[in-house]
Structure 1
Amino acid sequence: MAESFTEYREVGVVDPLRQGDVLEAVDPGVSKWQRHLLVMTADCDFAYAKHQGRVTCTPLLSAEEYLSEMQIPKIRERLIKQSLKQIRQILSKLDVPNITDQRLREWASEEASSEIVMMLNLEQSHAQKAMAVLDSIRMVDTPVPNLKDGVRSLVEAQLTGTSAQKRENVVKKLLSDLREPYARPPGDALFLTSIAPGHEAGYFAYLRQIEQVWEPEISLGPSRIEAKYRRISRMRDRFTHALVQRFAMVFMSIGLPQQYEELRDLHSEILGESFT
Protein backbone atom coordinates (compact mmCIF):
# COMPACT_ATOMS: atom_id res chain seq x y z
CA MET A 1 0.00 0.00 0.00
CA ALA A 2 1.34 3.45 -0.91
CA GLU A 3 2.36 5.68 1.98
CA SER A 4 -0.23 8.38 2.70
CA PHE A 5 0.82 11.94 1.91
CA THR A 6 1.98 14.32 4.64
CA GLU A 7 3.80 17.64 4.46
CA TYR A 8 5.99 16.64 7.41
CA ARG A 9 8.42 13.86 8.21
CA GLU A 10 9.35 12.41 11.54
CA VAL A 11 12.77 13.13 13.05
CA GLY A 12 14.81 11.39 15.71
CA VAL A 13 16.37 12.61 18.93
CA VAL A 14 19.84 12.74 17.34
CA ASP A 15 18.69 15.10 14.57
CA PRO A 16 19.68 18.67 15.47
CA LEU A 17 17.17 21.51 15.57
CA ARG A 18 16.72 22.90 12.07
CA GLN A 19 14.61 25.23 9.92
CA GLY A 20 11.20 23.69 9.25
CA ASP A 21 10.95 21.91 12.60
CA VAL A 22 7.51 21.94 14.23
CA LEU A 23 7.40 22.72 17.95
CA GLU A 24 4.57 22.03 20.38
CA ALA A 25 4.17 23.88 23.67
CA VAL A 26 4.45 21.67 26.75
CA ASP A 27 1.89 23.84 28.56
CA PRO A 28 -1.55 23.11 27.06
CA GLY A 29 -2.82 26.42 28.40
CA VAL A 30 -0.74 28.68 26.14
CA SER A 31 -2.53 30.83 23.56
CA LYS A 32 -3.20 29.59 20.05
CA TRP A 33 -0.39 31.86 18.84
CA GLN A 34 2.19 29.88 20.86
CA ARG A 35 0.69 26.37 20.85
CA HIS A 36 2.37 25.15 17.65
CA LEU A 37 5.32 26.94 16.07
CA LEU A 38 7.30 26.52 12.87
CA VAL A 39 11.05 27.17 13.13
CA MET A 40 12.25 29.83 10.65
CA THR A 41 15.84 30.28 11.84
CA ALA A 42 18.20 29.28 9.01
CA ASP A 43 20.25 26.09 9.26
CA CYS A 44 23.51 28.04 8.87
CA ASP A 45 22.53 30.20 11.84
CA PHE A 46 22.14 27.04 13.93
CA ALA A 47 25.40 25.59 12.60
CA TYR A 48 27.45 28.69 13.43
CA ALA A 49 25.40 29.86 16.43
CA LYS A 50 24.58 33.17 14.74
CA HIS A 51 21.14 33.22 16.34
CA GLN A 52 22.57 33.60 19.86
CA GLY A 53 20.21 30.92 21.15
CA ARG A 54 17.04 32.71 20.00
CA VAL A 55 14.94 30.56 17.69
CA THR A 56 12.65 32.56 15.38
CA CYS A 57 9.29 30.93 14.71
CA THR A 58 5.85 31.61 13.24
CA PRO A 59 2.52 30.24 14.53
CA LEU A 60 0.70 27.25 13.11
CA LEU A 61 -3.02 27.81 13.70
CA SER A 62 -5.75 25.24 13.28
CA ALA A 63 -7.84 25.93 10.19
CA GLU A 64 -10.81 26.93 12.37
CA GLU A 65 -8.66 29.36 14.35
CA TYR A 66 -7.19 30.92 11.22
CA LEU A 67 -10.53 31.37 9.50
CA SER A 68 -12.03 32.86 12.68
CA GLU A 69 -9.13 35.26 13.15
CA MET A 70 -8.34 36.25 9.56
CA GLN A 71 -11.27 35.53 7.23
CA ILE A 72 -14.41 36.06 9.31
CA PRO A 73 -13.40 39.67 10.20
CA LYS A 74 -12.94 40.49 6.48
CA ILE A 75 -16.39 39.14 5.66
CA ARG A 76 -17.84 40.95 8.66
CA GLU A 77 -16.40 44.30 7.51
CA ARG A 78 -17.72 43.80 3.98
CA LEU A 79 -21.24 43.10 5.26
CA ILE A 80 -21.11 46.05 7.65
CA LYS A 81 -20.04 48.34 4.81
CA GLN A 82 -23.02 47.20 2.74
CA SER A 83 -25.45 47.70 5.63
CA LEU A 84 -24.11 51.15 6.47
CA LYS A 85 -24.53 52.18 2.84
CA GLN A 86 -28.18 51.07 2.98
CA ILE A 87 -29.00 52.96 6.15
CA ARG A 88 -27.07 56.00 4.92
CA GLN A 89 -29.36 56.05 1.89
CA ILE A 90 -32.38 56.09 4.19
CA LEU A 91 -31.04 58.88 6.39
CA SER A 92 -29.95 61.01 3.43
CA LYS A 93 -33.60 61.50 2.49
CA LEU A 94 -34.59 62.66 5.95
CA ASP A 95 -34.00 65.63 8.19
CA VAL A 96 -31.86 63.88 10.82
CA PRO A 97 -28.58 64.88 12.52
CA ASN A 98 -25.36 63.92 10.75
CA ILE A 99 -24.17 60.60 12.22
CA THR A 100 -20.86 59.01 11.31
CA ASP A 101 -20.70 55.42 10.09
CA GLN A 102 -18.70 54.46 13.16
CA ARG A 103 -21.33 55.91 15.48
CA LEU A 104 -24.15 54.19 13.58
CA ARG A 105 -22.34 50.89 13.94
CA GLU A 106 -21.78 51.38 17.67
CA TRP A 107 -25.35 52.56 18.19
CA ALA A 108 -26.76 49.41 16.60
CA SER A 109 -25.12 47.33 19.33
CA GLU A 110 -26.00 49.69 22.19
CA GLU A 111 -29.74 50.18 21.66
CA ALA A 112 -32.65 48.17 20.34
CA SER A 113 -33.34 48.94 16.70
CA SER A 114 -36.89 50.07 17.52
CA GLU A 115 -35.52 52.58 20.04
CA ILE A 116 -33.04 54.00 17.51
CA VAL A 117 -35.75 54.39 14.89
CA MET A 118 -37.95 56.14 17.44
CA MET A 119 -35.14 58.54 18.43
CA LEU A 120 -34.55 59.36 14.77
CA ASN A 121 -38.28 59.94 14.37
CA LEU A 122 -38.41 57.86 11.20
CA GLU A 123 -41.67 57.49 9.34
CA GLN A 124 -43.21 54.04 9.09
CA SER A 125 -42.22 53.76 5.43
CA HIS A 126 -38.53 54.02 6.42
CA ALA A 127 -38.69 52.56 9.93
CA GLN A 128 -39.05 48.89 9.00
CA LYS A 129 -36.18 48.97 6.54
CA ALA A 130 -33.96 50.87 8.99
CA MET A 131 -34.69 48.39 11.79
CA ALA A 132 -33.85 45.45 9.55
CA VAL A 133 -30.50 47.01 8.63
CA LEU A 134 -29.70 47.89 12.25
CA ASP A 135 -30.59 44.34 13.36
CA SER A 136 -28.25 43.00 10.68
CA ILE A 137 -25.39 45.24 11.85
CA ARG A 138 -25.86 44.14 15.45
CA MET A 139 -25.84 40.47 14.51
CA VAL A 140 -22.67 40.85 12.44
CA ASP A 141 -20.89 42.58 15.34
CA THR A 142 -22.06 40.19 18.07
CA PRO A 143 -19.03 38.21 19.42
CA VAL A 144 -19.17 34.45 18.85
CA PRO A 145 -17.10 31.68 20.49
CA ASN A 146 -16.21 29.61 17.43
CA LEU A 147 -16.21 29.41 13.64
CA LYS A 148 -19.48 27.48 13.39
CA ASP A 149 -21.37 30.08 15.41
CA GLY A 150 -19.62 32.85 13.48
CA VAL A 151 -20.80 31.45 10.15
CA ARG A 152 -24.32 30.94 11.46
CA SER A 153 -24.43 34.53 12.76
CA LEU A 154 -23.26 35.99 9.44
CA VAL A 155 -25.83 33.95 7.52
CA GLU A 156 -28.68 35.08 9.77
CA ALA A 157 -27.49 38.69 9.61
CA GLN A 158 -27.75 38.69 5.82
CA LEU A 159 -31.20 37.09 5.88
CA THR A 160 -32.31 39.68 8.45
CA GLY A 161 -31.21 42.60 6.25
CA THR A 162 -33.24 44.30 3.56
CA SER A 163 -31.81 42.46 0.56
CA ALA A 164 -34.03 39.56 -0.46
CA GLN A 165 -31.71 36.53 -0.55
CA LYS A 166 -32.14 32.78 -0.41
CA ARG A 167 -30.45 31.03 2.47
CA GLU A 168 -28.73 28.55 0.17
CA ASN A 169 -27.18 31.38 -1.85
CA VAL A 170 -25.99 33.19 1.27
CA VAL A 171 -24.41 30.01 2.64
CA LYS A 172 -22.82 29.20 -0.73
CA LYS A 173 -21.20 32.64 -1.01
CA LEU A 174 -19.98 32.56 2.59
CA LEU A 175 -18.43 29.11 2.19
CA SER A 176 -16.79 30.22 -1.05
CA ASP A 177 -15.13 33.10 0.83
CA LEU A 178 -13.94 30.77 3.58
CA ARG A 179 -12.55 28.24 1.08
CA GLU A 180 -10.61 30.89 -0.82
CA PRO A 181 -7.43 30.83 1.35
CA TYR A 182 -7.06 27.06 0.99
CA ALA A 183 -6.38 27.06 -2.76
CA ARG A 184 -5.41 30.73 -3.13
CA PRO A 185 -3.87 31.74 0.20
CA PRO A 186 -2.84 35.32 0.88
CA GLY A 187 0.89 36.04 0.80
CA ASP A 188 1.25 35.72 4.58
CA ALA A 189 -0.25 32.24 5.05
CA LEU A 190 -0.17 28.71 3.68
CA PHE A 191 -2.46 25.75 4.33
CA LEU A 192 -1.00 22.46 5.58
CA THR A 193 -3.12 19.32 5.81
CA SER A 194 -1.04 18.00 8.73
CA ILE A 195 1.91 19.14 10.84
CA ALA A 196 2.80 16.01 12.86
CA PRO A 197 1.47 12.58 13.80
CA GLY A 198 -1.92 13.06 15.42
CA HIS A 199 -2.19 16.63 14.09
CA GLU A 200 -3.98 16.10 10.80
CA ALA A 201 -7.11 18.27 11.00
CA GLY A 202 -5.69 21.08 8.82
CA TYR A 203 -3.56 24.07 9.78
CA PHE A 204 -2.48 27.44 8.43
CA ALA A 205 1.04 28.74 8.89
CA TYR A 206 0.57 32.43 9.69
CA LEU A 207 3.79 34.09 8.58
CA ARG A 208 3.17 37.69 9.62
CA GLN A 209 3.59 37.03 13.34
CA ILE A 210 7.00 36.24 14.82
CA GLU A 211 7.57 34.32 18.03
CA GLN A 212 10.98 33.68 19.59
CA VAL A 213 11.86 30.70 21.74
CA TRP A 214 15.01 30.25 23.81
CA GLU A 215 16.75 27.20 22.30
CA PRO A 216 17.69 25.57 25.64
CA GLU A 217 13.95 25.42 26.39
CA ILE A 218 13.28 23.20 23.34
CA SER A 219 13.39 19.45 23.89
CA LEU A 220 14.25 17.22 20.93
CA GLY A 221 13.16 14.07 22.70
CA PRO A 222 12.62 12.54 26.16
CA SER A 223 14.58 14.70 28.57
CA ARG A 224 14.73 15.78 32.18
CA ILE A 225 15.35 19.42 31.32
CA GLU A 226 12.66 22.00 32.02
CA ALA A 227 11.42 22.33 28.44
CA LYS A 228 8.74 24.77 27.29
CA TYR A 229 8.55 23.22 23.81
CA ARG A 230 9.12 19.82 22.29
CA ARG A 231 9.86 19.12 18.64
CA ILE A 232 7.19 16.89 17.11
CA SER A 233 8.14 16.79 13.41
CA ARG A 234 9.93 18.52 10.54
CA MET A 235 8.38 19.88 7.35
CA ARG A 236 9.59 18.21 4.17
CA ASP A 237 12.13 20.29 2.24
CA ARG A 238 9.76 21.52 -0.46
CA PHE A 239 7.27 22.82 2.09
CA THR A 240 9.99 24.33 4.25
CA HIS A 241 11.36 26.20 1.24
CA ALA A 242 7.88 27.39 0.19
CA LEU A 243 7.10 28.62 3.71
CA VAL A 244 10.44 30.40 4.11
CA GLN A 245 10.03 32.06 0.72
CA ARG A 246 6.58 33.36 1.68
CA PHE A 247 7.91 34.45 5.06
CA ALA A 248 10.64 36.49 3.37
CA MET A 249 8.21 38.09 0.93
CA VAL A 250 5.97 39.29 3.76
CA PHE A 251 8.75 41.38 5.24
CA MET A 252 10.22 42.47 1.90
CA SER A 253 7.01 44.16 0.77
CA ILE A 254 6.80 47.95 1.09
CA GLY A 255 3.63 49.32 2.62
CA LEU A 256 2.05 52.43 1.10
CA PRO A 257 0.28 55.18 3.10
CA GLN A 258 -3.45 55.05 3.73
CA GLN A 259 -3.95 58.42 1.99
CA TYR A 260 -2.60 56.89 -1.21
CA GLU A 261 -4.95 53.92 -0.94
CA GLU A 262 -7.95 56.21 -0.37
CA LEU A 263 -7.10 58.35 -3.42
CA ARG A 264 -6.46 55.21 -5.48
CA ASP A 265 -9.92 53.90 -4.56
CA LEU A 266 -11.47 57.28 -5.43
CA HIS A 267 -9.92 57.21 -8.91
CA SER A 268 -11.19 53.67 -9.35
CA GLU A 269 -14.74 54.71 -8.41
CA ILE A 270 -14.66 57.72 -10.74
CA LEU A 271 -13.66 55.44 -13.60
CA GLY A 272 -16.72 53.29 -12.92
CA GLU A 273 -19.04 56.31 -12.91
CA SER A 274 -17.93 57.31 -16.40
CA PHE A 275 -19.45 54.14 -17.84
CA THR A 276 -22.88 54.37 -16.17
Structure 2
Amino acid sequence: MGELFAEYREVSVADPLRQGDVLEAVDPGATMWQRHLLVMTADCDFAYAKHQGRVTCVPLLAADEYLLEMQLPKIREQLVRLQLKELRQIFSKAAVPAITDGRLREWASEQTPADIAKVLELRQTDAQKTMAALEAIGIMDTVANTLKEGVDLLVRAQLVGVSSPKRDNAVKKVVNHLRGAYAQPPGDALFLSAIGPGEEDGYFAYLRHIEQVWEPEIARGPSHTKVAYRRISRMQDRFAHALVQRFAMVFMSIGLPHQYEELRDLHAEIQGDKVV
Protein backbone atom coordinates (compact mmCIF):
# COMPACT_ATOMS: atom_id res chain seq x y z
CA MET A 1 0.00 0.00 0.00
CA GLY A 2 1.13 3.56 -0.72
CA GLU A 3 2.12 6.03 1.94
CA LEU A 4 -0.80 7.75 3.66
CA PHE A 5 -1.37 11.32 2.52
CA ALA A 6 -1.13 14.25 4.93
CA GLU A 7 -0.84 17.99 4.37
CA TYR A 8 1.77 18.29 7.11
CA ARG A 9 5.19 16.82 7.85
CA GLU A 10 6.97 16.30 11.13
CA VAL A 11 9.91 18.48 12.14
CA SER A 12 12.69 18.04 14.67
CA VAL A 13 13.57 20.27 17.60
CA ALA A 14 16.66 21.36 15.68
CA ASP A 15 14.61 22.84 12.82
CA PRO A 16 14.19 26.62 13.22
CA LEU A 17 10.76 28.20 13.39
CA ARG A 18 9.52 28.83 9.85
CA GLN A 19 6.50 29.87 7.81
CA GLY A 20 3.97 27.03 7.66
CA ASP A 21 4.71 25.72 11.15
CA VAL A 22 1.69 24.57 13.15
CA LEU A 23 1.51 25.67 16.78
CA GLU A 24 -0.64 24.19 19.54
CA ALA A 25 -1.60 26.16 22.65
CA VAL A 26 -0.31 24.73 25.91
CA ASP A 27 -3.40 26.00 27.72
CA PRO A 28 -6.16 23.37 27.32
CA GLY A 29 -8.72 26.13 27.78
CA ALA A 30 -7.53 28.19 24.82
CA THR A 31 -10.28 29.58 22.59
CA MET A 32 -10.85 28.15 19.12
CA TRP A 33 -9.09 31.22 17.71
CA GLN A 34 -5.91 30.41 19.65
CA ARG A 35 -5.94 26.63 20.08
CA HIS A 36 -4.06 25.87 16.84
CA LEU A 37 -2.18 28.49 14.84
CA LEU A 38 -0.42 28.50 11.51
CA VAL A 39 2.73 30.64 11.24
CA MET A 40 2.53 33.19 8.39
CA THR A 41 5.69 35.19 9.13
CA ALA A 42 8.06 34.90 6.16
CA ASP A 43 11.26 32.83 6.44
CA CYS A 44 13.38 35.86 5.52
CA ASP A 45 11.83 37.80 8.40
CA PHE A 46 12.90 35.04 10.77
CA ALA A 47 16.36 34.85 9.21
CA TYR A 48 17.02 38.60 9.51
CA ALA A 49 14.88 39.23 12.63
CA LYS A 50 12.67 41.66 10.76
CA HIS A 51 9.65 40.50 12.72
CA GLN A 52 11.00 41.94 16.00
CA GLY A 53 10.08 38.74 17.81
CA ARG A 54 6.39 38.92 16.82
CA VAL A 55 5.20 35.79 15.02
CA THR A 56 2.14 36.44 12.86
CA CYS A 57 -0.32 33.54 12.71
CA VAL A 58 -3.81 32.60 11.55
CA PRO A 59 -6.10 30.15 13.37
CA LEU A 60 -6.71 26.58 12.30
CA LEU A 61 -10.31 25.95 13.30
CA ALA A 62 -11.86 22.53 13.77
CA ALA A 63 -14.20 21.94 10.81
CA ASP A 64 -17.37 21.97 12.94
CA GLU A 65 -16.30 25.21 14.61
CA TYR A 66 -15.61 26.92 11.30
CA LEU A 67 -18.87 25.78 9.71
CA LEU A 68 -20.89 26.84 12.77
CA GLU A 69 -19.16 30.22 13.04
CA MET A 70 -18.68 31.17 9.38
CA GLN A 71 -20.98 29.18 7.11
CA LEU A 72 -24.16 28.49 9.07
CA PRO A 73 -24.92 32.24 9.49
CA LYS A 74 -24.86 32.64 5.69
CA ILE A 75 -27.39 29.85 5.25
CA ARG A 76 -29.51 31.32 8.05
CA GLU A 77 -29.60 34.73 6.38
CA GLN A 78 -30.67 33.21 3.06
CA LEU A 79 -33.49 31.27 4.70
CA VAL A 80 -34.62 34.21 6.84
CA ARG A 81 -34.82 36.41 3.74
CA LEU A 82 -37.22 33.93 2.13
CA GLN A 83 -39.57 34.16 5.11
CA LEU A 84 -39.28 37.96 5.26
CA LYS A 85 -40.16 38.09 1.57
CA GLU A 86 -43.32 36.10 2.30
CA LEU A 87 -44.20 38.52 5.09
CA ARG A 88 -43.67 41.52 2.81
CA GLN A 89 -46.07 40.05 0.27
CA ILE A 90 -48.71 39.51 2.96
CA PHE A 91 -48.24 42.96 4.47
CA SER A 92 -48.42 44.67 1.07
CA LYS A 93 -52.03 43.49 0.72
CA ALA A 94 -53.03 44.49 4.26
CA ALA A 95 -53.05 47.74 6.18
CA VAL A 96 -49.85 46.93 8.04
CA PRO A 97 -47.57 49.84 9.04
CA ALA A 98 -44.04 49.87 7.65
CA ILE A 99 -41.81 47.57 9.70
CA THR A 100 -38.12 47.03 8.98
CA ASP A 101 -36.73 43.54 8.51
CA GLY A 102 -34.59 43.99 11.59
CA ARG A 103 -37.58 44.94 13.71
CA LEU A 104 -39.56 41.97 12.41
CA ARG A 105 -36.80 39.62 13.51
CA GLU A 106 -36.65 41.23 16.94
CA TRP A 107 -40.42 41.06 17.25
CA ALA A 108 -40.37 37.35 16.43
CA SER A 109 -38.14 36.77 19.46
CA GLU A 110 -40.13 39.04 21.78
CA GLN A 111 -43.70 37.81 21.31
CA THR A 112 -45.44 34.67 20.11
CA PRO A 113 -46.39 34.54 16.42
CA ALA A 114 -50.06 34.30 17.43
CA ASP A 115 -49.86 37.52 19.48
CA ILE A 116 -48.13 39.35 16.64
CA ALA A 117 -50.72 38.20 14.09
CA LYS A 118 -53.46 39.38 16.46
CA VAL A 119 -51.89 42.82 16.80
CA LEU A 120 -51.66 43.11 13.00
CA GLU A 121 -55.36 42.21 12.63
CA LEU A 122 -54.81 40.02 9.58
CA ARG A 123 -57.32 37.82 7.81
CA GLN A 124 -57.23 34.19 8.90
CA THR A 125 -55.30 32.89 5.87
CA ASP A 126 -52.75 35.72 6.05
CA ALA A 127 -52.54 35.36 9.82
CA GLN A 128 -51.67 31.66 9.51
CA LYS A 129 -48.93 32.39 6.96
CA THR A 130 -47.61 35.22 9.10
CA MET A 131 -47.46 33.00 12.18
CA ALA A 132 -45.65 30.29 10.19
CA ALA A 133 -43.07 32.75 8.84
CA LEU A 134 -42.49 34.34 12.25
CA GLU A 135 -42.13 30.96 13.93
CA ALA A 136 -39.58 29.93 11.32
CA ILE A 137 -37.61 33.15 11.82
CA GLY A 138 -37.67 32.70 15.60
CA ILE A 139 -36.33 29.17 15.29
CA MET A 140 -33.58 30.23 12.89
CA ASP A 141 -32.45 33.04 15.19
CA THR A 142 -32.13 30.66 18.15
CA VAL A 143 -28.50 30.39 19.28
CA ALA A 144 -26.91 27.01 18.54
CA ASN A 145 -23.93 25.74 20.54
CA THR A 146 -22.96 22.95 18.12
CA LEU A 147 -23.05 22.46 14.37
CA LYS A 148 -25.62 19.69 14.70
CA GLU A 149 -27.89 21.92 16.77
CA GLY A 150 -27.55 24.67 14.19
CA VAL A 151 -28.38 22.37 11.29
CA ASP A 152 -31.37 20.90 13.15
CA LEU A 153 -32.72 24.39 13.82
CA LEU A 154 -32.45 25.46 10.18
CA VAL A 155 -34.09 22.27 8.95
CA ARG A 156 -36.94 22.54 11.49
CA ALA A 157 -37.46 26.21 10.62
CA GLN A 158 -37.91 25.39 6.94
CA LEU A 159 -40.49 22.75 7.76
CA VAL A 160 -42.68 25.12 9.83
CA GLY A 161 -42.25 28.18 7.60
CA VAL A 162 -44.25 29.37 4.62
CA SER A 163 -43.84 27.29 1.42
CA SER A 164 -42.20 24.53 3.44
CA PRO A 165 -40.23 21.93 1.45
CA LYS A 166 -40.08 18.19 2.06
CA ARG A 167 -37.73 17.25 4.89
CA ASP A 168 -35.15 15.71 2.53
CA ASN A 169 -34.99 18.93 0.51
CA ALA A 170 -34.77 21.03 3.67
CA VAL A 171 -31.80 18.94 4.83
CA LYS A 172 -30.11 19.12 1.41
CA LYS A 173 -30.39 22.91 1.29
CA VAL A 174 -28.34 23.18 4.48
CA VAL A 175 -25.98 20.23 4.09
CA ASN A 176 -25.09 20.92 0.44
CA HIS A 177 -24.03 24.44 1.37
CA LEU A 178 -21.83 23.11 4.17
CA ARG A 179 -20.28 20.51 1.89
CA GLY A 180 -19.53 23.21 -0.66
CA ALA A 181 -17.27 24.94 1.86
CA TYR A 182 -14.88 21.99 1.60
CA ALA A 183 -14.50 21.78 -2.19
CA GLN A 184 -15.10 25.47 -2.94
CA PRO A 185 -14.22 27.43 0.18
CA PRO A 186 -14.40 31.23 0.17
CA GLY A 187 -11.18 33.06 -0.57
CA ASP A 188 -10.40 33.58 3.12
CA ALA A 189 -10.34 29.90 4.12
CA LEU A 190 -8.88 26.55 3.09
CA PHE A 191 -9.68 23.04 4.26
CA LEU A 192 -6.94 20.81 5.67
CA SER A 193 -7.69 17.20 6.56
CA ALA A 194 -4.86 17.01 9.13
CA ILE A 195 -2.56 19.55 10.80
CA GLY A 196 -0.35 17.29 12.92
CA PRO A 197 -0.02 13.89 14.58
CA GLY A 198 -3.35 13.03 16.22
CA GLU A 199 -4.99 16.13 14.74
CA GLU A 200 -6.70 14.55 11.75
CA ASP A 201 -10.42 15.33 12.12
CA GLY A 202 -10.49 18.14 9.55
CA TYR A 203 -9.69 21.84 9.94
CA PHE A 204 -10.13 25.15 8.14
CA ALA A 205 -7.38 27.74 8.05
CA TYR A 206 -9.23 31.01 8.52
CA LEU A 207 -7.09 33.71 6.93
CA ARG A 208 -8.99 36.84 7.94
CA HIS A 209 -8.25 36.52 11.67
CA ILE A 210 -4.69 37.32 12.79
CA GLU A 211 -2.99 36.35 16.06
CA GLN A 212 0.52 37.37 17.12
CA VAL A 213 2.71 35.33 19.45
CA TRP A 214 6.06 36.28 20.96
CA GLU A 215 8.68 33.95 19.53
CA PRO A 216 10.25 33.17 22.96
CA GLU A 217 6.83 31.79 24.01
CA ILE A 218 6.98 29.09 21.32
CA ALA A 219 8.72 25.77 22.01
CA ARG A 220 9.93 23.93 18.91
CA GLY A 221 9.54 20.60 20.69
CA PRO A 222 9.17 19.12 24.18
CA SER A 223 10.30 21.72 26.71
CA HIS A 224 10.53 22.12 30.47
CA THR A 225 10.42 25.92 30.27
CA LYS A 226 7.14 27.81 30.57
CA VAL A 227 5.79 28.56 27.08
CA ALA A 228 2.41 29.44 25.54
CA TYR A 229 2.72 27.30 22.40
CA ARG A 230 4.56 24.26 21.14
CA ARG A 231 5.22 23.43 17.50
CA ILE A 232 3.62 20.16 16.44
CA SER A 233 4.29 20.04 12.69
CA ARG A 234 4.96 21.97 9.50
CA MET A 235 2.74 22.19 6.45
CA GLN A 236 4.08 20.58 3.30
CA ASP A 237 5.55 23.26 1.01
CA ARG A 238 2.72 23.17 -1.53
CA PHE A 239 0.09 23.74 1.15
CA ALA A 240 2.13 26.37 2.97
CA HIS A 241 2.56 28.29 -0.30
CA ALA A 242 -1.12 27.97 -1.17
CA LEU A 243 -2.14 29.27 2.26
CA VAL A 244 0.28 32.20 2.09
CA GLN A 245 -0.98 33.08 -1.39
CA ARG A 246 -4.60 33.07 -0.19
CA PHE A 247 -3.63 35.07 2.88
CA ALA A 248 -2.02 37.72 0.67
CA MET A 249 -5.03 37.89 -1.64
CA VAL A 250 -7.39 38.50 1.30
CA PHE A 251 -5.51 41.63 2.32
CA MET A 252 -4.60 42.78 -1.20
CA SER A 253 -8.27 43.17 -2.07
CA ILE A 254 -9.31 46.83 -1.90
CA GLY A 255 -12.98 47.52 -1.25
CA LEU A 256 -14.61 50.40 -3.10
CA PRO A 257 -17.37 52.68 -1.74
CA HIS A 258 -21.03 51.79 -2.20
CA GLN A 259 -21.61 55.11 -4.01
CA TYR A 260 -19.04 54.11 -6.62
CA GLU A 261 -20.83 50.80 -7.20
CA GLU A 262 -24.17 52.59 -7.64
CA LEU A 263 -22.68 54.98 -10.21
CA ARG A 264 -20.92 52.13 -11.97
CA ASP A 265 -24.19 50.22 -12.25
CA LEU A 266 -25.96 53.36 -13.52
CA HIS A 267 -23.35 53.82 -16.26
CA ALA A 268 -23.71 50.17 -17.19
CA GLU A 269 -27.49 50.56 -17.53
CA ILE A 270 -27.11 53.73 -19.62
CA GLN A 271 -24.60 52.01 -21.89
CA GLY A 272 -27.02 49.11 -22.30
CA ASP A 273 -29.79 51.53 -23.33
CA LYS A 274 -27.46 53.17 -25.87
CA VAL A 275 -26.67 50.01 -27.77
CA VAL A 276 -30.11 48.37 -27.74
Letter in 1 for 2:241: H
What displacement does 1:267 show?
9.8
Match of 1:22 in 2: 22
Match of 1:82 in 2: 82
Q: 2: distance between equivalents of 1:210 and 1:184?
A: 22
Q: 1: distance between equivalents of 2:221 and 2:210?
A: 24
Match of 1:219 in 2: 219
Note closer, same or farther for the CA distance 1:80–1:205 as it changes in structure 2 (3 Å cut): same
Note closer, same or farther for the CA distance 1:161–1:263 as it changes in structure 2 (3 Å cut): farther
Letter in 2 for 1:151: V
Aligned pairs, number: 269
Q: 1: distance between equivalents of 2:222 and 2:115?
A: 63
2:175 aligns to what SS in structure 1?
helix
Q: 2: distance between equivalents of 1:128 and 1:238?
A: 56
The two structures have a TM-score, normalised by structure 1, of 0.94
Match of 1:151 in 2: 151
Matching of residue 207 in structure 1 with residue 207 in structure 2:
yes
Match of 1:107 in 2: 107
What displacement does 1:15 show?
0.5
Give percent identity, aligned residues only: 70
Note closer, same or farther for the CA distance 1:268–1:189 as it changes in structure 2 (3 Å cut): farther
Letter in 2 for 1:107: W
Note closer, same or farther for the CA distance 1:140–1:266 as it changes in structure 2 (3 Å cut): farther
What displacement does 1:259 show?
4.2
Q: 2: distance between equivalents of 1:17 and 1:62?
A: 23
Match of 1:238 in 2: 238
Letter in 2 for 1:116: I
Q: 2: distance between equivalents of 1:115 and 1:257?
A: 42
Match of 1:164 in 2: 164
Match of 1:95 in 2: 95
What displacement does 1:257 show?
2.3
Q: 1: distance between equivalents of 2:69 and 2:240?
A: 24
State the superposition RMSD in angstroms.
1.7
1:1-276 matched pairs, under 5 angstroms: 1-260=1-260
Deviating more after overlay: 132-141 vs 88-97 = 88-97
Deviations 1:181-227 (A, max 9, x none): 11111111000000001000000000011100000000111222210
Deviations 1:162-183 (A, max 9, x none): 1131111111121110011111
Q: 1: distance between equivalents of 2:77 and 2:237?
A: 38
